[in-house]
Amino acid sequence: MKNNRILLIGLAVILLIVIGLLAIPDMGRHHANMMGSMASMDPASTTVMEDDSPEAKAFRQTCTQCHGLPSPGQYTANEWPLIFERMKQHMIESRIAPPDEKAAALILEFLSKHAGQPST
Ligand code: HEC
């Protein structure tokens, strides 16, 4: 009788540990830690963070999967499409779904709207 109870408690403890482990989010899934050093990329301005437009949301969602939020002012409107294509390659290589046409258009719109000014 007493042995049975100890066994039951033991099982309960093991069950709790298993549940606890399952609850830990899958850290490596999006290579979130792969580029810890890049988290120190130019911090995006607070206006980018607070912008509630669909363009800003698409940008934040797509572009923070591998590194910190890039600052749109970092490149000019002419340069962004090239960077964007390179990022899409990274996504394909990392098996992260690249944005669909609609999301891609939103992101590029956002980037060009907030892009840096070309230096003359
Ligand atoms: C699949 C992972 C991944 C995603 C998603 C991603 N990037 Fe990147 N990004 C990288 C990697 C890897 C590098 C470093 C190598 C490089 O520069 O190509 C990088 C570097 C950068 C750089 C610095 C490179 C430079 O030449 O200045 C910028 C800016 C950038 N990403 C912007 C973006 C934007 C904007 C998005 C969203 C459209 C995005 N990233 C989404 C992986 C990603």
**Is residue 44 in contact with ligand 1, taking CB distance under 6 Å?**
no
| Per-residue pLDDT at 102 | 97
The pTM is what?
Answer: 0.72
pLDDT tens by residue, 65-114 = 999 999 999 999 999 999 999 999 999 999 999 999 999 999 999 999 99
Q: Which residue has the tokens 């995006």?
A: 44
Do the domain assignments include residue 98?
A: yes
Q: Is 32 in the pocket of ligand 1 (CB under 6 A)?
A: no
**63 to each of 46, 55, 67, 98, 110, how far by Cα in Å?**
16, 12, 7, 10, 12
Q: How many domains does the chain have?
A: 1
Domain residue limits at 68:
36-113
**Could you tell me if residue 9 is inside a domain?**
no
State in Å: Cα 119 to ligand 1 middle: 22
